[in-house]
A and B are shown apart, each in its own frame.
Chain A
C-alpha cells in the first residue's frame, strides 16, 4: 500500500500557501495494470469510481482496478448540468435516487474533498392543466415516499424565484411548481476527483488511457479482459461504460435495450448571482441553474437519432434557448460561451439497468440515460453490493435486465422532471 494522501484542511492550505501552492501532490497514482484483480470496473466516470470506492470501503475488496479509455470524469460526468434531486414518481426510482441524495449530503465530509454540493432547491414548473395534475400527483407520491416536496402556486413561485416571468399572457404561463428544497447542484468534476482520491487511498488502481478490446469468458464464467495495455484477469467485472455500454456488450454477445444519443448542454458568459435555484420545465423543455462561477448552465434535449459523436443539432439548442428566454426574458441578451454534447445510454423505460447477466461474474450498470449524475454515489453503492455479493441490493433489484422480458418496467418517461 502506498502512502495516504494528505488531509485537506485550513492547515494544509496555509502550509502550501507558504510555498506558493507549488508543492501539492497528485492525489491518485497512475499505476501499470497488474495481471490479476479481485474486481475490474470498466469505465472511470463517476459511477465507475464510486463503485470501486464502495467495493473497497463497504465490502473490503483490496485488489480493484478501474480501467478507463480516456481520462477519468471526462465523459458524461464532466458533461452534465450537475442537477441533483430525488423527486421521482415511482417507488423504485424514488428509493434509489433518494438513497443517492442522502449520500450527497455527507459526501464532502466523507471524502475530505469539497464537491460544492449546494441544496438550493429544484423547482419543476407547470404550464397547463395537465402539468398541474401530473406534478401534483408526483408531489403526493414523493411525500408518501418520505421525500420532501412542496407545491407552490404562481405567487409563491414568483416569491421563490423573483426573476421568473409569471405573466398570464405568455404562451405557456406559470401555473405553479413543485419544489424539492433538498435538491440542488454539485461540482461534477470534483465528484470524480474526490472519489478517485478516496478509492486510490484504499489501494484501487486507476488505469487511464487503457481501452478494453475484449472480454474473456470460459464456460459461462468471466475470466478477464483484453486491453490496449495487455490482458488483465479477474472473475468479477463491472461494466459502467455509459454511452458505450452497447459496444462492450457486443463483445460478449449480450443484447441491451439501449440506444446511445447525443444530449447537449451549454453555458453562458459568467454574470453576478441572479438565479439561486434550479428551474426545470418539462412542457417547454428547459432547465437552467447558475454555477458558482456565474455561468448559466442550460440543458437541452436529446437528438432524435443514435450517435456517438458527442455533438448534436443546433435546432435542439435553439428550442431550449427559446424556452429559457420565455421564462426568463432578462436572459435574452446574454451570450452563450460553450456548448457540448455527451452520449447518453437511453433505456426504453428511461430507468437504469444495474444487473447481473447470464455470464457469471459480469455485471452491467448502464442505461442511466439523461439523468445519471444525480445518482452517482447511490449507483456505485448498490452496484458494489451487486458485484461483491453476486446478488442485487434491495434498491437495485427492480432494475434488473430481466424486466424487459417480465414486463416489470419502471416507466419514468415524463414522470422524471424532463422527458427526453
Chain B
C-alpha cells in the first residue's frame, strides 16, 4: 500500500492505479522473422527485479493516462516518475548488500537508501 504522485492529478492512493508491468520492453519491429524463443522472450520473460524496477503505471480510476515509475520493489518506495518515451533515469545510492538484501539472521522487510531525484 503506497501513494503514487500522478504527474497529471497529484498524489493518490495506489488503489486508483493499474500497474502495466516492466517498462521499456519494445515490441519487435519484424514480427514474421522472429523465432519462437524470441517471441517467448518478448511476451513472457521478465526481469522481476528485487531493487529498482522501471515500470509502467496507468491512473485507471483517474485521468487514465500512462507514465513510467522507478520503484524499489524491496520497499515499495517510489524514486522517480517520468513520462512515457523517456529513457530510464540513473538512480544512485546503496544497492542491496546481498541478493536478498535482508538481515543476516532471519528474513523480512528491509529498507535501503537510494537517492531520490
Contact = CB atoms under 8 A, between A and B. Distances in A.
B97 to A, nearest CB: 10
Interface in B1-50: 1, 13-15, 18-19, 21, 36-37, 39-41, 43-50
Interface string B71-111: 00111100000000000000000000011101011111100
Contacts, number: 102
Contacts of B45: 255-257, 404
A260 B48 contact: yes
Contact of B14 (A247, A248, A257, A313): A313
B3 to A, nearest CB: 11
Interface residues of A, number: 39
B108 A258 contact: no
Interface in A206-261: 209, 211-213, 228, 244, 246-248, 250-251, 255-260
Contact of A407 (B36, B76, B98, B107): B36
A256 B45 CA distance: 5
B68 interface: no
A348 to B, nearest CB: 5
B106 A306 contact: no
Q: Is the interface of A mostly helix, strand, loop or mixed?
A: loop
Contacts of A145: none
Interface residues on B, range: 35 or more
Nearest to A258: B48
Nearest to A255: B45
Contacts of B76: 307, 309
B68 to A, nearest CB: 14
13 contacts: A70-B102, A74-B107, A211-B98, A213-B98, A228-B98, A256-B46, A257-B40, A259-B46, A305-B14, A308-B50, A313-B15, A315-B1, A406-B36
Given A75-B107, A305-B14, A313-B1, 12 more contacts: A209-B104, A209-B106, A211-B102, A213-B98, A213-B99, A246-B47, A246-B49, A256-B45, A257-B45, A258-B46, A308-B74, A405-B39
Interface of A: 69-71, 74-75, 209, 211-213, 228, 244, 246-248, 250-251, 255-260, 304-315, 348, 404-407
Closest 7 CB pairs of A and B: A70-B107, A246-B48, A257-B44, A305-B19, A255-B45, A315-B15, A313-B1
